[in-house]
Amino acid sequence: MAKLEDVAKLANVSKTTVSRVLNHRGYLSQKTIDRVHAAMRELNYRPNVIAQQLYKNQTNLIGILLPTVANPFFGEVTLELERRLYQLGYKVLIGNSMNDPSKEADYLEQLLNKQVDGLIVGTHNQGIQEYQNLNLPIVSIDRIVNGDIPTVASDNYAGGRLATERLIERGAQKIIHINGPQSLPITAARRREAYEDVMNAHHLTPLTYEVDFNIAETVKKQKLAQILAAHPDVEGIFASNDTDAALLMQLAAERGLRIPEDLLLIGYDGTKLVRELVPQLTTVIQPVDQIAATAVKVLQERIAGQPTKAEYILPVQLSVGTTA
């Protein structure tokens, strides 16, 4: 294998000059840079990446930990994060925690062993103590990790208000909200707060059911079917994500309920995939592109040691279909 000194000899420059070209350090004429690159191509020289990383004290690796990329929202967020990070010269390592704290801790350890430059996390697990002691730039999406880690999220409270008010405007009074476990430290819980505030403001009785979005689809479908069976007079449902809303559409059809004539339905997330496959679904759109762009920007600021805010809240909008 060709060595750095072989490149220097062929290019008729010093080893220091070759090193400066590789690491983009100091002023060099374009003629010198071109001569070094030509010698590298002729010798098929490959730089010692590990040595470069030690020299720069960075690996250009970013770790991403999310619940599962199978979920349309997190899948699109991951795609957009990877695209933006790649444009900035980073490579990405992705882990799906699948609602398993031990798996998340294991992934976290592996990512740290790879000496990543930073982390973007959006997992829903609790009690991961490693996050409390990390001297590493971290940004969270939709999850409140601790006071030192900034959170990027959509305006969940505004989204919950938009959805609930839309159902009431369409004439629904008995409205059920389906959300994740209240104990989870995620900003999506604010959708529930908004729903309950709007219901109370209209002198209506809030009725929230907790359904973990990570459980198997067969189990979730059974739970949702039980909710419909327990409330045959329900007039509207605000589901906290579009996958639950799609399941509810199936279950309503199985029970002979017409949407929107018999049941109004609103989802949440508004991913491109869901809007293409279920265009009739009224849903609250989270700005995936803005969430990813903001998370990457804030992570860059953390890596550079710049001050950041505790929370970055991004606007949502209601996409009106025929379901509500």
- Stated pTM of the model: 0.79
**Rounded distance, CA 82 to CA 94, Å?**
9
Query: Which of 253, 196, 193 has its CA nearest to residue 228?
Result: 253
Written as six digits, the tokens of 132 are 């409390």
- Integer angstrom CA distances of residue 71 from 29, 204, 269: 50, 32, 11
- Pairing between β-strand 282-285 and β-strand 317-319 as defined by DSSP bridges: antiparallel
**Domains of the chain in sequence order:** 4-56 (1.10.260.40), 61-154+289-316 (3.40.50.2300), 156-286 (3.40.50.2300)
pLDDT in tens, 80-135: 999 999 998 888 888 777 677 777 777 777 777 667 888 898 876 666 666 665 67
CA-CA distance, 14 to 155, in Å (whole number)? 56
**What average pLDDT does this structure show over 241-268?**
95
Average pLDDT along the chain: 87
Q: How far apart are CA 91 and CA 111, in angstroms?
A: 12
What tokens were used for 264? 């109004």
